[in-house]
Amino acid sequence: MKPIRVGLLGIGTVGGGTLRVLTRNQEEIMRRAGRGIVITTVADQDTARATAAAGAGVRITGDAFSVVADPDIDIVIELIGGYTVAKDLVLAAIENGKHVVTANKALLANHGNAIFAAASRKGVMVAFEGAVAGGIPIIKALREGLTANRIEWIAGIINGTSNYILSEMRERGLAFDTVLAEAQRLGYAESDPTFDIDGIDAAHKLSIMSAIAFGIPMQFDKAYIEGIRALTREDIRYAEELGYRIKLLGITRRTDRGIELRVHPTLIPKRRLIANVEGVMNAVLVKGDAVGATLYYGAGAGAEPTASAVVADLVDVTRMLTADPENRVPHLAFQPDQLADTPVLAMEEVETSYYLRMAVADRPGVLADITRILADEAISIDAMVQKEPPEGADQTDIILLTHLTMERRVNIAIARIEALPTVFGKVTRIRQEDLS
């Protein structure tokens, strides 16, 4: 049987890793796929780099559109990133009847609905395991392994850069800016780290997982996104003293009123396995009604971890090439005509617990004023710590942990607390999840 012919768009870090893994494990992959899989063409603007990486026997071009139009190509791998040219290339490949493998989470989060609809019309597959959590096979787990379950919630550490920064801040007591600069020097953070530290990258990935878990369209534009720029080493230290770790979590949960879709720093009890995921590693915790909680852990980025997922997608597509389109695994796990219109909740409608830290005057009655405001909003206190003020100081920190409550109630309470003359500056709010 003749091999599957693949066109690779982009031979940067992940593209180069994909070529290496496919070449190195060619015999094993052929045994699993049932036929050979060969990258015959590589498109990259840097043709000299592509020539050096691809070696003999591979056609090199600077024109990616010529690859998606090539009748000799069966599968297109899109690894150029972004969601402008990448979108045009993927849609052109689909229109030309080619299957697509991509690791582009931004593209899918923003344009996945249109891409999947186009693929369904043309009877081709779009595979995207590498788009979420690198080498961790979380898409396959959600779409196939847990298909018997009604997924209740997902909570994930799905951005290695942010997790590295928070781990270093906690372990070494360093400030955010110091660790960010170090992460950039080590190559863990981009020169412009906005997508990572502001939670956008995690929200892209969460939007994809939420759609698959709950059978809803991609709705990245409705995600609540809050990054880690404002976190201080003091809050990380206080959380540790209270028995918690702070992680940037992507959380999506099914409720009676709708779907929660949110990314933000979160206090997690130290005893939870996911709280102990450190450095650049990723982990995703999935709660199903039948299986209970399952944890998926591994490298969330990097050349060969992501290439592992890309090549696995190539094998999946190869196995399913002869299958009737109606018998393939649906892109978003549920049949396209069975997607639900369940609303995504506004953040104000989300229920969770909270860590609140405020700098207050060191005088009688201050705590009573604060607790009265919380009581007015039906916010119950779980724990309270008042730090001893430094010698000679006239202000101190109060830290409160609340029970479960509605975000809009907390918004009102914080506004009233900040208006008190005995409270200085802004109240620090970090959401808290037990994940039990």
- Which helix (DSSP H) or strand (DSSP E) does residue 40 occupy? strand 37-43
Strand, helix or coil at 248? Answer: strand
Contacts of 146 (CB under 8 A, 6+ apart): 286, 288, 291, 294
Measured between alpha carbons, how far is 436 from 285 in angstroms, rounded to an integer?
10
Q: Is 222 a catalytic residue?
A: no
Structure tokens, 76: 């297109």
Contact 229, 210 (CB under 8 A): no
Instruction: Return the axis-axis angle of helices 160-172 and 176-186, rounded to nearest 10°.
Output: 130
Q: Tell me which DSSP letter residue 243 carries.
A: T
* Positive or negative: CA dihedral 357, 360, 364, 369: negative
Structure tokens, 285: 């915790």
**Helix/strand/coil percent split, the chain, to 5:** 40, 25, 35
Q: Whose CA is closest to 171, among 276, 257, 253, 100?
A: 276
Contacts of 233 (CB under 8 A, 6+ apart): 169, 173, 174, 175, 176
Q: Please identify which of the residues 105, 205, 247, 287 carries the catalytic annotation.
A: 205
Active-site positions?
205
